[in-house]
Amino acid sequence: MQDMVNVYLMGKKYVVPSNLTIMGAMEYSGYQLVRGCGCRCGFCGACATIYRIKGERELKVCLACQTQVQDNMYVATLPFFPLIKQVYDIEKVKPEQAVMMQLYPEIYSCIGCNACTKACPQGLNVMQYIAYAQRGDFKKCAEESFDCVMCGICSSRCPAGITHPQVALLSRRLTGKYLAPKSEHLENRVKEINNGDFKELIEGLMGKPISELKELYNTRVIEK
């Protein structure tokens, strides 16, 4: 027999194997996940979840697909964490400090509590990349936030109302558009695609069965 633990999902008690993730425990208990399940590999950020262990006061946050259940865990999922998403044209905004002041001025209200960093399920130094954004150092902000999955958990814990993932995304876009070195071979490949040079090859791939596609992928030649 597997070790079993008690978990409370949406207020109801279930007994599940202790080696399951929260997401696995929900399915084991009969829930059919039609939203908030995403990639199941910790990359999409769709399964942001809050939980508390019985007898403890701390409210914790996590990704349900990556977090193992614990005994007497009370779990609740949310459809999303609301984030402020400003609309801008990347062709018109420039990598200047003023762009953050215009689009996300709340970052200058950061009180340095570090709650965002403590909440991040990816272990990112969130408060640090916000500091880089405040100074207009978009390249460092982009590097520090590169593994962000846009789950929004950091923002849910922020007393200043900062939308950390969107600030990071803007920094990465500015870096890619204006600051990173140009990739000549990538630009050439895009031109070839737009010219239709690979149309026949792509149509051929689309007509192949999945098994053959897997074989082609697994035996592909990787450029050094």
pLDDT digits (tens, 9 = 90+) for 151-187: 888 998 899 999 999 999 999 999 999 999 988 898 9
Return the higher-pLDDT residue of 189 and 43.
189
Q: Which residues contact 37 (CB under 8 A, 6 or more apart)?
A: 23, 46, 47, 65
pLDDT over 70 (residue 1): no
Indicate whether 90 belongs to any domain: no
**Are 65 and 38 found together in one domain?**
yes
**Are 159 and 205 found together in one domain?**
no
Where helices occur in 120-183 by DSSP H, the ranges are: 126-134, 138-144, 153-156, 164-174
Residues 205-218, mean pLDDT to the nearest whole number:
93
Indicate whether 83 belongs to any domain: no
pLDDT tens sequence across 24-83: 999 999 998 887 788 888 888 888 899 999 999 888 889 999 999 999 999 987 767 778
**CATH number where 12 lies:** 3.10.20.740
The residue segments making up the domain with residue 202 are: 194-218
DSSP per position, 33-80 = --SS-TTSSSSS-TTEEEEEETT----EEEETTT-B--TTEEEEE-S-
Q: Vertex 125, ends 122 and 127: CA angle to 5°?
A: 125
Question: If 0-12 CB within 10 Å is exposed, 13-18 middle and 19+ buried, where does residue 70 land?
Answer: middle
Indicate whether 62 belongs to any domain: yes
**Are 173 and 209 found together in one domain?**
no
What is the number of structural domains in the chain? 3
**pLDDT value at position 215?**
93
**pLDDT value at position 77?**
78
pLDDT over 90 (residue 121): no
Indicate the pLDDT class of residue 224, thresholds 50, 70 and 90: low
pLDDT over 70 (residue 203): yes
Kindly report the length of the chain. 224
**pLDDT value at position 42?**
83
Return the higher-pLDDT residue of 205 and 84.
205
Average pLDDT, the chain: 91
Indicate whether 73 belongs to any domain: yes
**pLDDT value at position 44?**
85
Verdict on whether the full-model pTM lies above 0.85: no
Q: Which residues contact 169 (CB under 8 A, 6 or more apart)?
A: 148, 150
